[in-house]
Amino acid sequence: MNNRELRIKAASFLQATKDRITEIPRVEIESWPNYPATPPLSLDIPPELSSFQFTLMKDTFPDGRIRIAIQSYQYRFLGFGYMNADGFILAKDGSHVPLTEQDMWDLT
């Protein structure tokens, strides 16, 4: 599988993982530790994506919103690499809001 195909597969994995997490009840997500600690959820990373590092992050904001993000990183050369992220904001009422552009900058 070439590098472009791997990146497409990694992006697809990020989307599927985000979708899976949106099904988890808010009360369970609230119990997860905030980043940099790792939430107790297995990402079940496919073997073909072993060249990527995936990180699940949870941040709780003072107003009660929770940001959930999954970041992928693929090392390339001399510390440079390819980074991507996907996720959502979990509102206090349980609704899901897409990440903002600022969130994406914060996460990548």
The residue to which tokens 């997500």 are assigned: 29
Instruction: Give the range of the structural domain holding residue 102, as residue numbers without chain letter.
Output: 3-107
What confidence tier does 104 reach under pLDDT thresholds 50, 70, 90? confident
pLDDT at 79: 75
pLDDT averaged over the chain?
93
Total count of domains within the chain: 1
Check: pTM over 0.85? Answer yes or no: yes
In the chain, DSSP assigns E strands to 52-60, 66-77, 80-90, 96-98
